[in-house]
Structure 1
Amino acid sequence: MKKIFLFVIIIIFLPFSSIFSLWEPVNNGIGDDIMLCLGTQDSLIFAGSMFSGAFISSDNGENWIKTKEKFGMGGISCFVENNGNIFAGTWHEGIYISTDKGENWELVNIWRYEINNINSIAFMGNYFFAGAEEKGIYLSTNNGETWSELNQGLNNKKIKSLAVKGDTVFVGFHFSCGIQEGGLYRSIDKGNNWEAINHELVYYEPIWLLAINDNTIFAGNALGLKKSTDGGENWEHTNKGIKDSIIQSIAIIDKNVIIGTVDKLYLSTNDGAKWKDITSWLKIDADFISFTYQSPYVYVAIGTQGIYRAKLIDLITSVDDENGELSSSNLVYPNPINDKLFIKSQNSIITSKIEIYNLVGLKVLETGFKEEIDVSNFMPGVYFLRIGNDNIKFIKSQ
């Protein structure tokens, strides 16, 4: 009887343990190198290392295969996909391109311009921007065959970050010796001319990281996280709930914002108005943190600690459940639901789309805003409805 009792206890409590742990390691084939960056192309996930080149996974991170190209010494700084190609920026060897999903790689011609140390890559259609550590901004309009220098108006060439919003390019800088101003610049003419953004939160601070979520621009550095909602004219701190100020990584994942600091991971579902800790059991102590997303998983690479994944829906709902506020501006009723679900919105977001996910994170419905949704064909169980910035849990009964 004791053996049976113990077996039952394990069956009952194992699922709860897996739910609360959130992150699981996915390092088969990676080895013990320092992981620097992540990226995706179609169903593939790319991981860049300091010394071992690139790794590719085609099975949600379960297994990784090292690419044939070694990418020289100094590591891979970033992966960016554009027009069916995947690009890898490197430290010391410029930029590589693969036209066959990582099977083969070739050096892009930027190395011919003695530009080797690439920190950031960004695209505006066919406009290919590269940010170099010491050489500034360069542009190619023919997929990297030829390049033009775009440093008119810049007082610094130590490029750290690039981001594109519509027809505007933003660039963030390290501060050079003797230059302690002009942390963030922007260009409205595809980089031909640059102007410094003269706001104290970004003008007198180096800007390491940039990310854009619709109309919100995020900038991060050792002094915390800032955001702008008016194209960069005005900035405010957005650190509520963040316990440490040194920002190592920012990612926009399905309209959510995820950041990595020196020892924590945080998620915001409302454009940085509020942050919650999603570190779970991870012990973070790394100079390099990178995120990517391949539905249904969020992946994080943490320096020497390897790669981990968690379902996005689990991260979202764990944050909201902890907060006790699954919905602040929308009401879903009845709950439990038998056949029809009704939505009452209190903030006039009738243009928002509605998404419903099941408990394992698979999207089972997507539609425009409706006040009534037929769920009679849903299997009984727990579901999560997403509308705007709200995530609402409901139960489908028999």
Structure 2
Amino acid sequence: MKKIFLYSVLVLFAVNIAFSQSENQTDGLLSSWLTCFATNGNNVFAGTCGGVLLSTDNGNTWTEKNTDLRVLSVQSMVMSGNTVYVGTYLGGVFVSNNNGNSWGKMSVGLDDEDVAALAKRENLFIAGTYWEASAYSFVSIQGQWQWVLMNEGLPRATVRTIAIKDNEIFAGTCEGVYSSLDSGKTWTNKSSGLPKLKVRTLTISGDLIFAGTDSGGVYLSTNNGESWSPRNSGLPQVTIRSIAISDDKIFVATEGFGVFSSSDVGYNWSPKNKGLQNLNIYALAINGNNLFAGTWGGGIYRSTDFGINWTQTK
């Protein structure tokens, strides 16, 4: 309960800052509360409660990128080529095609601007929202691109994460996993084996789909979400905020227990926390040989040896 209250205070504070400060400034404290990453080449973007950070040298240095980003509390982020999209708390979706030097709002048709999740692959672009608990698809109608509500079959439960596998869209909600095969028009429950758990994050690697849950650890599906099984040996019963995969190495971000890794498809996990001063990890990203961990209130850490050692870079 304390964490929920603290998050509410922080995001409300961030929204106030967005309207009271100049658009290219952030509060140093709020930019240490990480929510998400997106990478492309040497560019690593970080979403925070105080806006967007960019590193062009694999995390050695970070620069604020908030010009025209009118709401600084970033909750979700995705890249497509050189274009980066961010979903914000009560501010909708913003887009930049110049490495974050400027941002434009793209929220036409988006009734709920509390955007908790974004996913894009080729012509599919899906947003998941918090308060209205809906999914939106970005489509062209009579030549105008806009968001269209697509929630037939979805429960009224926050869409926290979205992942796309081939032409199938998976949504992690507060009532399990749902999938769509028709660009989000209709959804089917895919929660067999998930014991009514809230799903925080979904990550796809080949035929494997990993789900990180609230207080239930990690679940794995090997059959496109038709069934799920727990993969928690060595993991405490914790909330999983983020999952990152590189070849046979799987990393999970936990609330309060740091980073854990597995090299056997999640059957066994071991902690990887040497050098981490903050064990509330809310975001993970892999870029080449660099593993990034975004903490809740403690900035950004980087590991160049897949989690054996960590160094704070922001």
- TM-score where L is the length of structure 2: 0.81
CA contact (8 A) 2:68 2:104 kept: no
CA contact (8 A) 1:219 1:227 kept: yes
TM-superposed deviation, 1:32:
3.0
CA contact (8 A) 2:89 2:113 kept: yes
CA contact (8 A) 1:122 1:163 kept: yes
Answer yes or no: is 1:126 the counterpart of 2:123: yes
> What is the rounded CA distance, in whole Å, between the counterparts of 1:71 and 1:240 in structure 2?
42
Aligned partner of 2:21 in structure 1 is: none
> What is the rounded CA distance, in whole Å, between the counterparts of 1:227 and 1:125 in structure 2?
25
Secondary structure, aligned partner of 2:194: helix
> CA-to-partner distance for each residue in 1:339-381, whole Å, 9 max, x for gaps?
xxxxxxxxxxxxxxxxxxxxxxxxxxxxxxxxxxxxxxxxxxx
Corresponding residue to 1:99 among 87, 97, 100: 97
Which structure has the larger Rg? 1
> What is the rounded CA distance, in whole Å, between the counterparts of 1:95 and 1:60 in structure 2?
26
CA contact (8 A) 1:41 1:101 kept: no
Answer yes or no: is 1:227 the counterpart of 2:220: yes
Equivalence map 1:66-215=2 (5 Å): 66-69=64-67, 71-73=69-71, 75-110=73-108, 112-135=109-132, 136-142=134-140, 145-174=145-174, 182-201=175-194, 204-215=196-207
CA contact (8 A) 1:162 1:210 kept: yes
Aligned partner of 1:270 in structure 2 is: 264
> What is the rounded CA distance, in whole Å, between the counterparts of 1:255 and 1:169 in structure 2?
24
Aligned partner of 2:208 in structure 1 is: 216
> CA-to-partner distance for each residue in 1:253-272, whole Å, 9 max, x for gaps?
34532101122211122321
Change (3 A) 1:294 1:285: closer
> What is the rounded CA distance, in whole Å, between the counterparts of 2:36 and 2:191 in structure 1?
31
Q: What letter matches 1:150 in structure 2?
A: M
Answer yes or no: is 1:36 the counterpart of 2:35: yes
CA contact (8 A) 2:172 2:201 kept: yes
TM-superposed deviation, 1:291:
1.1
Q: Which segment is superposed worse, 65-74 or 164-173?
A: 65-74
Secondary structure, aligned partner of 1:193: coil
TM-superposed deviation, 1:114:
2.7
Change (3 A) 1:223 1:300: same
Aligned partner of 1:279 in structure 2 is: 273
Aligned partner of 2:301 in structure 1 is: 308
Change (3 A) 1:113 1:88: closer
CA contact (8 A) 1:109 1:145 kept: no
Aligned partner of 2:55 in structure 1 is: 57
> CA-to-partner distance for each residue in 1:307-364, whole Å, 9 max, x for gaps?
11111xx227x59xxxxxxxxxxxxxxxxxxxxxxxxxxxxxxxxxxxxxxxxxxxxx
RMSD: 2.4
Q: What letter matches 1:266 in structure 2?
A: F
CA contact (8 A) 1:244 1:261 kept: no
CA contact (8 A) 1:290 1:302 kept: yes
Secondary structure, aligned partner of 1:227: strand
> What is the rounded CA distance, in whole Å, between the counterparts of 1:64 and 1:30 in structure 2?
14
CA contact (8 A) 2:262 2:270 kept: yes
Task: List runs of 5+ in structure 1 lacking aligned partners.
Answer: 1-28, 175-181, 320-398
Aligned partner of 2:240 in structure 1 is: 247
TM-superposed deviation, 1:285:
4.2
- TM-score where L is the length of structure 1: 0.65
**What fraction of aligned residue pairs are identical, expressed as a percent?**
25
> What is the rounded CA distance, in whole Å, between the counterparts of 2:126 and 2:144 in structure 1?
9
TM-superposed deviation, 1:224:
1.4
CA contact (8 A) 1:215 1:229 kept: yes
> What is the rounded CA distance, in whole Å, between the counterparts of 1:193 and 1:70 in structure 2?
35
Q: Which segment is superposed worse, 32-41 or 94-103?
A: 32-41
TM-superposed deviation, 1:92:
1.2
TM-superposed deviation, 1:137:
0.4
CA contact (8 A) 2:242 2:283 kept: yes
Change (3 A) 1:258 1:78: same
CA contact (8 A) 1:109 1:144 kept: no
